Amino acid sequence: MNRRDRYSRTVALLKVAFPLAALALLSTLFLLSRAIEPETAIPFADTEIQERLRDQQITGPFFSGTTADGDLMSFSAQKLVTLPGRIGANRAEEVEVKLRTTAGAIFDMRADVAEVDISDNAAMLTGNVALTSSSGYRVQTQTLTALISETELSADGEITANGPPGTLKAGNMRIFTSKSTDSTQMVFSGGVKLVYTPN
């Protein structure tokens, strides 16, 4: 009988002691925690906050779709901001574009900056533009213009390229899908200089 009384008293005591111990632990956590300074709570510099308030911007945008001919296109960037005074115009930084045509050709493009104008149906890539094609060409230029609704890429400035035939330089380049043959073509023109490298 005494053992049962002692057991029940012990259980009743623990029912009170455990919650009190938990409260004591919680109170020490709050007492020992550091106070948060309001000035360091927001991890943004004052200039960055002002830029975000002034400019409408999207961080890490991604867009994909198809052209009128059914070619697949995807677009991603580090940041995209609206251009003041221009409806439907945006400026993107650290841009990556992938184009896959119905004919099977694939083009990967990178650029420092891209200005996309929906009303003008064009995107202009500038600054260290690099283009790689599935046919083995690696092209570098400073400016590349791409139409949005169809596969049409053009570089009006000097380009350098490495490809299956060798290394070449040209005054301009055009990539388009031929309506007659339904194939994607790369055309270099404007004083083409080719250094042929035999296999």
Residue 37 above 60 pLDDT? no
Helix ranges (DSSP H) in 33-169: 46-54
Identify the three-state secondary structure at position 91.
Answer: strand
Domain-wise residue ranges, the chain: 56-196
* Candidate from 60-74, 136-150, 163-177 with smallest mean pLDDT: 60-74
- Of 110, 138, 140, which is closest to residue 125 (Cα–Cα)? 110
- Dist. CA 159–CA 168, nearest whole Å: 8
Helix ranges (DSSP H) in the chain: 2-32, 46-54
* Candidate from 25-39, 63-77, 89-103, 173-187 with smallest mean pLDDT: 25-39
CB 197 within 8 A of CB 165: yes
Please tell me the predicted confidence (pLDDT) of residue 1.
54
What count of Cα atoms within 13 Å lies in the side-chain half-sphere of residue 133?
A: 21
pLDDT band with cut points at 50, 70 and 90 for residue 109? very high
What is the arithmetic mean of pLDDT over 123-138?
94
Report how far Cα 86 is from the mean position of its chain's Cα atoms. Answer: 23
CB 95 within 8 A of CB 110: yes
What is the arithmetic mean of pLDDT over 84-95?
86
Looking at domain 56-196, which CATH architecture does it have?
Sandwich (2.60)
Please tell me the predicted confidence (pLDDT) of residue 69.
83
Per-residue pLDDT tens digits for 162-177: 999 999 999 999 999 8
